[in-house]
Amino acid sequence: MRITVEHLTKRFGSVLANNRLTISFAAGQIHGVLGENGAGKSTLMKLLSGYMQPDEGQILFDGVPSRLCGPADALKAGVGMVHQEPLDVPAFSVLENLLCAAPRGVFSSRRAAQTALLELAERLGFAVDPAARLDQLTIGQRQQIEIMRLLLCGAQVLILDEPTTGITAAQTRALFAALRQIAAEGRTILFVSHKLEEVAELCDTVTVLRNGEVVPPGQLPMPQPQEYLLALMFGDAGASSAVYRPLPAITAPPVWELRQVTVRSGSLQIHDLNHTFAAGRIIGLAGLDGSGQQVLLRLLAGQITPERGQVLVNGRDLTGAGSLAFRQAGIEYLPADRLHDGMIGAFSLTDHFALLQRNGMIVDRRSAEELARQAIADYQIKATPITPIAALSGGNQQRAMLALVPPNARGILAEQPTRGLDVASARAIWGRLQARRDAGCCVVFASPDLDEIMEYSDEVIVCFAGRIGPPMPRALLSSGRLAELIGGVGFEALVEAV
């Protein structure tokens, strides 16, 4: 199905999120949509998938104008959207999710739904267990299920918003193979991303959005030179690259010290962990999804109590003291799902500062608003002090979450700190984290992106199947060696060598 937009316009107050967009996406192809944070990509996709209605302009399916009153309406018209955060029911099984989300009459029985699911999974190369509960699956597996659900409900156009964020390299390969297969069957795919390499690898065309407009007007065939696309997305801001600075020697005592720690979370158990995490360092945790990185971060945040051993923070034994005691000791946790776990979507920055500042039952709104204003200026957040966090773009949400970390924090634990962010926003976030490191904070972060681990870590810790490797100076590590280690090649020898 060809999908066309003509003069499509969407405003939020004074912000023109989409400004008279006119584009056409042909059937049977994969179309990349590129743009920096806040360029208007998500708004366009929400208009195409019925989550929002345009102020002006129209959407045409195979040349026929249509009005979409909601996502169910869009799916009926053949458009399905896979969101960055899966919109599924975690407590339900795969099959239950499929059944409860399918329009009436799509499946004649539970058995028919299961058969259709297994057949489609085989065609697309996905492994699926219909009885598995979604909260036991990784983001990558839940995304595969969401794609299959939309296809089984009749989607002819599939929109994917930053689909490789938070999934493993193997899952990305499986996703790309499946998308090629889906396009070869005649469906239209819109692939929203800010990762140029992925668009280059996968897409037949690319549309670049900047400040709510298509630049240059119309679609470009792929391939295009990377520098040209960067210039379209960012102007000059995308061209400069991060500068490496040597680090001063550490004199301060370690922020964390783990002594003979054994910890269990779900089916994963980590044994006899002995590590110190020095002040003034950035430590990257690398590993395949679910290899122990998140357990380690949560242990360091006081969110899980070890079965054995001791966790010292700034030299004090806080084993089993709970996450509040860790926060009081200067430890801050920045979760990957910033909108659901990190902040409250309906609250503004002022509201968040008011909560942090609260003195007993007294809320000082005036000082909270002043702090929000200051944070907006310091962190260059595109928002007012009273804009709800949910209305900010991903990059601005991440800046806001970082701005809420108190200046005297001793340790920052960041789960995928640049998840869903474009190059310029990611650099801005890393600039802030490096400034915290330079001020003596220890930053421990996990990322599925090996380039990010290599670019920003001072030390790298590889996690493999619940085993935590020794810290390695980044300067002594190559990308190839890191890729081997996270796949387990040479991991045993590395652990034994210590």
- Which string of x and - marks every residue 395-424 that binds ligand ATP (by CB under 6 A)? x-----------------------------
Distance between CA atoms of 141 and 152, rounded to whole angstroms? 17
Q: According to CB under 6 A, which one of 4, 19, 29, 43 is a site residue for ligand ATP?
A: 43
- Give the binding-site size for ligand ATP (rule: CB under 6 A): 17
Q: Is 392 in the site for ligand ATP (CB under 6 A)?
A: yes
Q: Is 193 in the site for ligand ATP (CB under 6 A)?
A: no
| Helix axis angle, 226-234 to 423-438, nearest 10° | 80
Which residue(s) pair with 411 in the sheet? Answer: 331, 442
**Two structure tokens written together for 382:** 């595109």
Residue number, 142 or 194, with CB nearest to ligand ATP = 194
* Strands 268-277, 316-317: pairing kind: unpaired
Residue 392 CB, shortest distance to ligand ATP, in Å, is: 5
Q: According to CB under 6 A, which one of 120, 278, 339, 391 is a site residue for ligand ATP?
A: 391
Interface region with ligand ATP, contact rule CB under 6 A, candidates 103-111, 386-394, 399-407, 451-459: 386-394
Distance between CA atoms of 277 and 197, rounded to whole angstroms? 34
Three-state secondary structure readout of 47-92? HHCCCCCCCEEEEEECCEEECCCCHHHHHHHCEEEECCCCCCCCCC
Map the footprint of ligand ATP across residues 355-384, applying CB under 6 A. Answer: 382
Please classify residue 425 by burial: count the beta carbons closer than 10 Å to its beta carbon, then call 0-12 exposed, 13-18 middle and 19+ buried: buried
Q: Is 42 in the site for ligand ATP (CB under 6 A)?
A: yes
Amino acid present at 270: I
Distance between CA atoms of 196 and 225, rounded to whole angstroms? 10
Residue number, 5 or 392, with CB nearest to ligand ATP = 392
Q: How many CB atoms lie within 10 A of CB 382?
A: 14
Residue number, 120 or 391, with CB nearest to ligand ATP = 391
Q: According to CB under 6 A, which one of 35, 78, 130, 287 is a site residue for ligand ATP?
A: 35
Residue 349 CB, shortest distance to ligand ATP, in Å, is: 13
Interface region with ligand ATP, contact rule CB under 6 A, candidates 121-129, 196-204, 391-399, 449-457: 391-399
Q: Could you please report the per-residue DSSP string of 154-215?
A: T-SEEEEESTTTT--HHHHHHHHHHHHHHHHTT-EEEEEES-HHHHHHH-SEEEEEETTEES
Distance between CA atoms of 174 and 151, rounded to whole angstroms? 16
Residue 42 CB, shortest distance to ligand ATP, in Å, is: 3
Distance between CA atoms of 7 and 428, rounded to whole angstroms? 33
Residue 52 CB, shortest distance to ligand ATP, in Å, is: 8
Question: The tokens 């920096």 sit on which residue?
Answer: 36
Q: Is 17 in the site for ligand ATP (CB under 6 A)?
A: yes
Q: Is 394 in the site for ligand ATP (CB under 6 A)?
A: yes
Interface region with ligand ATP, contact rule CB under 6 A, candidates 41-49, 149-157, 296-304, 488-496: 41-49
* Strands 411-415, 331-334: pairing kind: parallel
Q: Is 163 in the site for ligand ATP (CB under 6 A)?
A: no
Q: Is 39 in the site for ligand ATP (CB under 6 A)?
A: yes
Residue 386 CB, shortest distance to ligand ATP, in Å, is: 12
The DSSP secondary-structure symbol of 76 reads H
Q: According to CB under 6 A, which one of 219, 393, 416, 457 is a site residue for ligand ATP?
A: 393
Write out the residues near ligand ATP by the rule CB under 6 A.
Answer: 12, 15, 17, 35, 37-43, 382, 391-395
